[in-house]
Amino acid sequence: MSRDFEHQPYPPMRLRKTAVYIRNAAPIISEYESLAIQAATLGVIATLAYKAQTLCLLLMAFLISRIHKIGFSWINSRLPAVLGVIYVALATVTALFVSQSAGIYRTLQFFIVILSTFVMVGHIFSLDQDKLYRFIKYLSILCIAIMIHIIFFHVSTNRIFTWKYLYDTKIDISLCIIILFIFEDKIKGHSRILWGCALIALITCVLMSGERKAYLLFIAIWAISNSPWQAKLVGLLTAVLAISIFLAASSKDSYVARQINSFSHSTKEIPTRYFFSVSSIGDQSDLVREFVNRNARLLFKSNPVFGLGATGYGEWAQKTYGNLKQSSGRSMNVHGEINRIPVENGLVGIFGVVLYLASCLFFIFNFVNDRGLFRSSSMVRGVLYLYIFMICYNYSEAMDTTMMVLIAAVGLIAAGLPRSVHSPREAAHRLNRLAKDSAAFPASTTMLSRGERPFGLLRKRRNLTRPARR
């Protein structure tokens, strides 16, 4: 019997420690189409931040028109992608249980979000390393431009310490945190002084913004970044000192001070009747959110299995208290998925979302772990940073189109990440699948045939056709 790999279905060789990455073929996309899809992707991010719904819909429609150029060959693990689609469906399609008109609108929203996000993520996976890096640089320029606009707008309107009044651009603060830490290794390679200055500037902007999820995101990413533990300890002590000085010098009623103090103060002991005695409760986010969350917990006990359906709490609140203006904000929608999922999707929704989060974390952690985990590059850790951002955003914000796109994108990214091959059977199966795909498309369309490393800095592949050991 020949000792070649292709003639031995179960060759006696060890691949347990071998990381082999296979890239499936994809349909050919011209350079013009590729740039158009990338520009539309950046446009969707900008229009979501500025709540330009009509323009966002047009850009998503253009992306959907290019779906035939993407295909499914870039997906390596179907589970997180399917669970991400189910998660978005729970937040949209189940509105049919509430009302027919809301259900039709949300169902259309579901298809538009899923299909357009599929095109955006699928095209990113089709880019080679240089083009992917160029796209990330364009995204960085967009985020910096939006941040400059945020600062200029709020300073010009005498809002120095609260940056939440320019549509929904506060999400850009979190994106800037991710972008900076993705380029951590590259900036440090040029100058560590430059990295320190950029970090100080970012900390200042995050603190002045009063954005709680940006606080949590920065702390989480800083804790797992490539910075040495001595620098993390010094940074932590410096941050504690700066926050203490800021709280001592500023007014206790200032927005930023209330946001920082909210981490240690609890509103659970406030009696329910107190919420009706506050005339402007809508302006006090902590109070109105506690009021809404209490109502949501009571409604969950009445409908524990399937919940009220998407938009169900909003319909109930408006029927009970009137619209937002009449109720002074008491009919506000539920903020935070930890509160919305039980009341609108019940135990079924909780089970589905937990599976989604666990599967995404498993594949993302496996991707980073294969590249050295805490010894991996900051660019590789970008997918882990994005997952943490999704957790922070979903924990604190209400369900909207931005959150749906984020949920679908993280699920698809986790599904498309290259996986390491740990068994000869799996290696042979994936090589056979690659051969079939290569027969359907020109060999030049596969990253494997060009000798490139898919989706960033990956380990060097070992040759699977080496002779087997006796």
321 CB contacts (<8 Å, ≥6 apart)?
327, 330, 331
Burial 154-166 (b: 16+ CB within 10 A, else e): beeeebebbbbeb
* AA identity, residue 358: A
The DSSP result for 166-186, as a single string, is STTTTHHHHHHHHHHHHTHHH
Give the Cα separation of 224 and 452 in Å (integer).
28
Q: What is the structure's pLDDT at 230?
A: 75
387 CB contacts (<8 Å, ≥6 apart)?
360, 361, 364, 410, 414
Q: Any idea what the Cα angle at residue 352 is, between residues 111 and 345, rounded to 5°?
A: 75
Instruction: Locate 302 and state its tokens.
Output: 């009445």
Give the Cα separation of 32 and 98 in Å (integer).
44
pLDDT in tens, 48-95: 999 999 999 999 999 999 998 888 888 888 899 999 999 999 999 999
pTM of the model: 0.79
- Ranges of the chain whose pLDDT falls below 50: 1-26, 438, 440-470
Q: What is the structure's pLDDT at 4?
A: 43
Instruction: Locate 318 and state its tokens.
Output: 């408006």
Q: What is the structure's pLDDT at 191?
A: 86
Q: What is the structure's pLDDT at 174?
A: 92
* AA identity, residue 134: R
3-state helix, strand, coil in the chain (%, to 5): 65, 0, 35
Give the Cα separation of 332 and 204 in Å (integer).
31
The DSSP result for 208-219, as a single string, is HHT-HHHHHHHH
Measure the N-to-C terminal CA separation of the chain; round to a whole number of Å. 12
* AA identity, residue 350: I
Q: What is the structure's pLDDT at 269?
A: 64
